[in-house]
Structure formats: C-alpha cells, structure tokens
Amino acid sequence: MKKFLYTILALLLIGLLTTYLILFTEWGNKIIASYIEKKINPNERYLNVKAFKLRFNSLDFKAQANDDSILILKGDFSLLKQSVDLNYHIDIKNLRSFKEWIPYPLRGAIITSGNIKGHRKALLIQGVSNVAQSHTAYNALLDDFKLSHLNLNAQDANLEDLLYLFNRPAYANARVSLQADFNSLKPLEGHLILTANNALINNALINQIFHLNLKDTLVFNLSHSSDFKENKAISDTTLTSPLANFTALKSEYLFSALKLNAPYTLEIPNLTKFQNITNHPLKGSLTLKGAIEQSPKFLKVSGHSNLLDGTLDFTLLNKDLKGRFSNISTLKALDLFNYPKFFQSVADANLDYDLSAKQGVLKAHLKNARFLKNSFSDFLYSISKFDITKEIYNDVNLVSQINQQRLLSNLSLKSPKTQLKIHNGLLDLNTKQIDMLMDAEILKFIFKLKLQGNMHQPKFSLILNEKAIQQNLQQGLKEILKNDTLKKGLDHLLKDDKLKEKLEKGLKGLF
C-alpha cells in the first residue's frame, strides 16, 4: 500500500514538475511559443512570436507579423487565481493581412491599446483607438468570456477613412461621431447614435458611378439612432441638405430575415437645383411619402405624391419602375419640365420603365384638352383660317416608346371639327430635336403637317400629296352639289370636255 502511495505521489510530483518546466521556464515557454505559431499559421508563416515569458504571477508576450504589425501583452497573470491585469498594445498596419481571421474584407491601419483586468466571471477590457483618425474610447465587460456589456464612444472619425476601412468607395467626407451601448451581441441588444455634420459629397466619384453631372458643392448632415432588441433594430434617420431633406422614422430591420422596412418622407423644396442631376431644367417642388423594403433578393420602393393638381403613385421593384399619374394638369407638367406651354388638359397616365435598360412605355389618356395659342396654332390658322385653340378634345390618347433619351410616340386627338394623328413621332430629349409627321383633318380639309427642329421652336411645313388633293377636291364637290342651283350649272359646264379639263386644273391649283 505504501509503495502504491509513493508511486502516486511520485507521478504527481513529476506532473507538477513537467507543468512547471513547460509553463514557467524559458525552455518551456519556447515550446508554447512554437505551438502558438503553428496554430496561428496553419498554412504559411505570417505571425512570429518574438517574446513569450510566463511566470507564476506575470506574462510578457510579443508577436510580430510579416508586415510589422505588433501585438503586445504585459502584466499580472495568475493561473491559480485565474485573474489578470494586463496592458495591451495592438498596431495593425493593414487589416487586409488578417483576412483569415476577420470574416469581413477590412483594410487599412488601426492602433489600439488598453487594459484587461479581472477574472473569468468578470473581465473588464478598457481601451482607446485612433481608428479612422478618431478619438475612440471603449470598454467591455465579459462574463465567462461572453460579452455582457459594451460601450463605445468614437468622436471625429474621418468618413473617408471609415469607408476605406470597410472596403467601400469614398462617396463623401465628413467628421463622424458614434456612441454605442450594448448589453449583448448575441442576440444584439442596445442602442446606437451616429451623426455626421457638414459631409461633403465626392462629385467626381458620384458622377463616375451614377453617370451624373454634379458640379456644385453638395453638403449634407446625417443623424441616425437605432434601438436593438428581440433580433431587430428600430431606427430613426434624418438627412438634410440644400438639395433635399430625407427622414425615415421607425424603420425596422429584422436580422433573422435580413429584411428592412422603412417608411420615409422625401422633400425637395427647389427642383431647379437638380439640373446637374437630371441634365434638364426643372421647376417647382416635390414631396414624396412611401416605404422602402429591402431583403437579399429584392429592393422595393413605393411612394405617393400630390403634384400637378393630381396624384402620383409609383413602385420600384429592383430595376422595374411602375408609375401612375391621376388627374394631373399637363399645363403644370410642361411648366415643371420647362417645356413650351402649348397644350392644356387633365391627364391619366401609366409608366412602365426598366431603369437598367433605360427603356419603357408611357400610356396616357387626356380629357378636356385644348391647344393654347402658339406657333403651331398660328400656322394652322394661316393655312386654314381655323382657330384650333377653340376646340375641346375629350378623347386624346398617347403611347410613347422610351429608349434611352428617345421617345417614339403615337398620338390621336379628335373633336367635332378636327382630327389629328401622329405615328412614330420622334422626340430626342438629349438633342431637344423633334421629327414628326401629323395627319390632319380640319373642317374636312385633309393634309399632312411636318414638325421638325428644336422642340422649343419647331419648323412647320404643309404637305399635300395627290391623294390629299383628290380627297379635298371630292369633298369640295360634295359641298357644291348640296346646292341644287350650283349643281345644275355644274352639270351644264361638265358637258363641255375642254371646260371640264380647265376646271379640274383650276381646282387642283387651289390646293
């Protein structure tokens, strides 16, 4: 029995001695350092342990990466008490080098230092960092190595550097402040506030990405707050600028479905300032209210606006835009787009448009329509002595095929005294040129009218082909034959072939 006890005691002493030799001697520390390197560098040697010195009550650790990134831990460390009081310093030259350990493709440099103090059930981490040229302070409390509380305060971070850090283009630059307070990361519970003041848009990059023509300096302010609870975030976002004001209050993001639902309001007080964005002068103001829905598979934006004495309702689903205009004033629409005010009506219209291909169809029905006095009405009066501005059209249909900046349109208007039709009339919004052929009938006088040139000052030309001349001649004869006296006289004249031939030539000459 004594031999057995001696054997157990000897084995225990050998175990303790071995543990001591491995953990607390220079020889043993080299073995541990080599093990750490192998675990960190399974495929290629990237991180080198420069120093590893573990004693009963202290730890001195230093590791260096191939790009000169450094990790230093130094201070009190007790295995028996399972407590630490360590100072740390981390200097990462390029986060991209740590892609095997960081799930998101980060890049750029970061320096942080601080203190780790406590024991397994209550471990407090306090530190500071200069991430994105900011003044950042943070503290975290861990219970059994699980986060129980995190507080982060970052002031004056450079937005350009933050975007670079997260591998995103530098859309804008500003000083950003962030305050966050979390009680849990899984599930995420806490509160976050983000602000950016006097942010400056990067016009060159925005123009390149979105094919715009921004020239003026664009500045905006951003305010955002989120409450995280029950696996979702409830957020308020406000963005203000001289161009537009955007608010999204009580938006909801579900982490389980990766789905966003954000009611929004967009106010544009002066559309004139959007000329560099739309490449076309606009007038007036616009207010949109709607909702944004986003998930990994789709983006849906819906909206409503009271405008042009009517309403606009639209839905954007990924790249497909569908819009409906109800009871809008075409006169105000022409004024909005800074086009000549030549036509007045109340219109209903449907738009189907592919934002990616920049192609679509516009279908409109107009009522209570009439022409206003302009060069078109003046030209018609000069050839027909008929004032078309007095005509009311209640059956007007327009169908336009949209391809990039070119519109091919079919238009038909009908009133008791007139009928006008255009087939495949061309309007080029880029060059502001039109090329249209109109079939017209005014007081049963049939002709064609060519409209060409600048859309603001088009040129008109009258076309009378042989068919139109014959139709007008026949119609004129019908009117003559309604009078019995004239009919008898005409019958007598037409018995003479020579007079008949001269009469036909004379009638054709009138047209």
Per-residue pLDDT, averaged over 224-231, amounts to 90
| pTM score of the predicted model | 0.73
Task: Identify the burial level of 61 via C-beta atoms within 10 angstroms of its C-beta, where 0-12 means exposed, 13-18 middle and 19 or more buried.
Answer: buried
**Does the structure show a pLDDT above 90 at 245?**
yes
Q: What is the pLDDT of residue 460?
A: 84
Give the pLDDT of residue 446.
83
Q: 484-493 vs 497-510: helix axis angle to the nearest 10?
A: 120
> If pLDDT is split at 50, 70 and 90, which confidence band does 364 have?
very high
Over residues 166-216, the pLDDT tens digits come to 788 888 888 999 999 988 777 788 999 999 989 998 888 888 877 777 888
Confidence of residue 466 (pLDDT cuts 50, 70, 90): low
What's the CA gap between 132 and 139, in Å, rounded?
19
Q: Interior CA angle at 302 toward 296 and 306, to 5°?
A: 165
Amino acid at 191: H
> Which residues, 6 or more positions from 250, have their beta carbon under 8 angstroms from its beta carbon?
234, 235, 236, 263
pLDDT digits (tens, 9 = 90+) for 56-80: 677 788 877 777 788 888 888 777 6
Query: Does 95 score more than 70 pLDDT?
Result: yes
Burial 292-308 (b: 16+ CB within 10 A, else e): beeeeeeeebbbebebb
Q: What is the pLDDT of residue 32?
A: 57
User: What pLDDT does residue 263 have?
Assistant: 95
Q: What's the rounded mean pLDDT across residues 314-338? A: 90
Q: Can you read off the two tokens belonging to residue 427?
A: 């309007």
Q: Please list the alpha-helical segments (H only) found in 375-427.
A: 375-384
For position 379, what pLDDT does the model report? 85
Average pLDDT over residues 265-294: 86
Q: Is the pLDDT of residue 88 over 50?
A: yes
Are 270 and 285 in contact, with CB atoms under 8 Å apart? yes
pLDDT tens digits, one per residue of 98-147: 666 666 677 888 889 999 898 878 889 999 998 888 899 999 888 887 78
| Average pLDDT of the chain to the nearest whole number | 80
Q: What is the DSSP letter of 472?
A: H
Residue 238 has pLDDT above 50, yes or no: yes
Region label for 283, one of left (φ > 0), alpha (ψ between -120 and 50) or beta (otherwise): beta
pLDDT score at 30:
57
Choose between 248 and 122: higher pLDDT: 248
Residue 20: CB atoms within 10 Å: 12
Model confidence at 301: pLDDT above 50:
yes
Whole-angstrom distance, CA of residue 287 vs CA of residue 268: 6
Cα separation, 449 vs 472, in Å, equals 15
Of 83-92, 146-155, 246-255, 486-495, the one with minimum mean pLDDT is: 486-495
Residue 35 is inside which H or E element, if any? helix 26-40
- What does the pLDDT read at residue 408? 92
Position 15 scores a pLDDT of: 43
- 14-45 confidence digits (pLDDT tens): 444 444 444 545 555 555 555 565 666 555 55
Q: Select the more confidently predicted residue: 139 or 444.
A: 139
Can you tell me the distance from the alpha carbon of 286 to that of 245, in angstroms, rounded to the nearest whole number?
11
Give the pair of three-digit tokens for residue 434: 């039109």
| pLDDT band, residue 465 (cuts 50/70/90) | low
146 versus 413: the higher-pLDDT residue is 413
Count of all residues that appear for the chain in the document: 511
pLDDT digits (tens, 9 = 90+) for 478-497: 444 444 544 444 454 444 45
**Weakest-pLDDT range from 234-243, 307-316, 383-392:** 383-392
Nearest to residue 192, comparing CAs of 178, 205, 202, 203?
Answer: 178
